[in-house]
Amino acid sequence: AQSVTQLGSHVSVSEGALVLLRCNYSSSVPPYLFWYVQYPNQGLQLLLKYTTGATLVKGINGFEAEFKKSETSFHLTKPSAHMSDAAEYFCAVSRALTGGGNKLTFGTGTQLKVEL
């Protein structure tokens, strides 16, 4: 079974400050890991993903995340927050399905608030 834990349902940062959103996972097989962003009343947009290879992955909008197997973590960071980053962020882990495809398991989400 797979699971994702996002520490902190709400995170508030000042504009220009570092953004750190935490994600820990549990998986019995090597995981695929994802961060998605959701703006109000919209679907999910992929920020970045880790599958294999380099453990530091860069995504859109200046976000990056580092896969740390020893810590079972995949924390999302951005050096300098912008007002437009205010949104809900979901970490997800994936496992392969028999016959192809994959099944995503989402964390409970972290609401990021950016203040002036």
Partner 1 sequence: GAVVSQHPSRVICKSGTSVKIECRSLDFQATTMFWYRQFPKQSLMLMATSNEGSKATYEQGVEKDKFLINHASLTLSTLTVTSAHPEDSSFYICSARRIGRGAYEQYFGPGTRLTVT
Interface with partner 1 by CB under 8 A: which range of 12-20, 21-29, 68-76, 95-103? Answer: 95-103
Contacts of 6 (CB under 8 A, 6+ apart): 21, 22, 23, 89, 90, 91, 107, 108, 109, 110
The label of the residue with tokens 């580092």 reads 66
The binder of partner 1 chosen from 42, 55, 61, 80 (CB under 8 A): 42
Pairing of strands 19-21, 73-78: antiparallel
Interface with partner 1 by CB under 8 A: which range of 17-25, 39-47, 62-70, 71-79? Answer: 39-47
Binding site for partner 1 (CB under 8 A): 32, 34, 36, 41-46, 49, 51, 90, 94, 96-97, 99-109
